[in-house]
Amino acid sequence: MSTIPVTDRTRVRRLPDRGAYDREVINSILDEGFLCHVGFVAEGAPVVIPTGYGRDGDILYIHGSAASRMLRSLQQGIEMCVTVTLVDGLVLARSAFHHSMNYRSVVAFGRATLVEDPAEKLRALTAISEQIVRGRWEDARKPTAQEMKATTVLALPLSEVSAKIRTGPPKDDEEDYALPIWAGVVPIKLEYKEPVADAKLAGGLAVPAYARRPKG
């Protein structure tokens, strides 16, 4: 495994045993998700915006309208923080204090750059599309020149990044294990339902396999 250098910002201080700095572990969490939260400061106030993303190698791409305040702010090179969280279960302890969640999360810091090269921009948009629904990009109509112009893509190097992970059962105080209170984990899994066809769909078109299993 490739270990990412730890910085003051990425070091997990609270429960450090849950920290992970291996590139493969971080990438596996990022690849399973498709929604991130982008934090930055705009006009002196903190802002956190949810958005889709795509990973291509050691680069995280985000995109949106060229008129987006978030993208216009970030392309100026201000500091940003991106988080991705996957919740795997609710941890029900015997005491209220020790309730928790099982999760896998990634936090990345840095400064984004505007993607201007047409080939990289198209590659980034492909990565974002495939991150959400693998296989859809090949079927969909590709962006026109005007649509590309109306879309801003930013690239964030995944060089200052770490993961934090919790697994396992509740951890109660020793004297609480004898209490007659149920304790354990309620697993959580993202479930995709049966696709619903657009009312204007042309006749004779079957649901593609990737629509039933978006993440492959």
CB 150 within 8 A of CB 66: yes
Phi/psi of residue 33, nearest 5 degrees:
-85, 180
The domain limits of the chain are 16-193+201-212
Is residue 215 very low, low, confident or very high in pLDDT (cuts 50, 70, 90)?
A: confident
Predicted confidence (pLDDT) per residue in 142-152, tens digit:
999 999 999 99
Q: What is the CA radius of gyration of the chain?
A: 20
- Nearest to 35, CA basis, from 113, 126, 128: 128
What's the whole-number average pLDDT of the chain? 95
CB 151 within 8 A of CB 143: yes
Compute the distance between CA of residue 113 and CA of residue 117 in angstroms, rounded to an integer: 12
Residue 1: per-residue pLDDT? 61
C-alpha dist (Å) from residue 183 to 44, 104, 178, 189: 44, 21, 11, 19
Predicted confidence (pLDDT) per residue in 33-77, tens digit:
999 999 999 989 999 999 999 999 999 999 999 999 999 999 999
The model's pTM: 0.93
Residue 153: per-residue pLDDT? 98
- Report the share of the chain in percent with pLDDT over 90: 94
- Identify the three-state secondary structure at position 115: coil
Residue 138: per-residue pLDDT? 95
CB 116 within 8 A of CB 197: no
Compute the distance between CA of residue 214 and CA of residue 216 in angstroms, rounded to an integer: 6
Q: Given a cut of 90, is residue 216 above it in pLDDT?
A: no
Predicted confidence (pLDDT) per residue in 86-110, tens digit:
999 999 999 999 999 999 999 999 9
Phi/psi of residue 127, nearest 5 degrees:
-65, -40
Residues found in the chain = 216
CB 163 within 8 A of CB 25: yes
Looking at domain 16-193+201-212, its CATH class is mainly beta
Predicted confidence (pLDDT) per residue in 167-181, tens digit:
999 999 999 999 999
- Report the share of the chain in percent with pLDDT over 70: 99
Residue 112: per-residue pLDDT? 98
Q: Given a cut of 90, is residue 114 above it in pLDDT?
A: yes
CB 66 within 8 A of CB 36: no
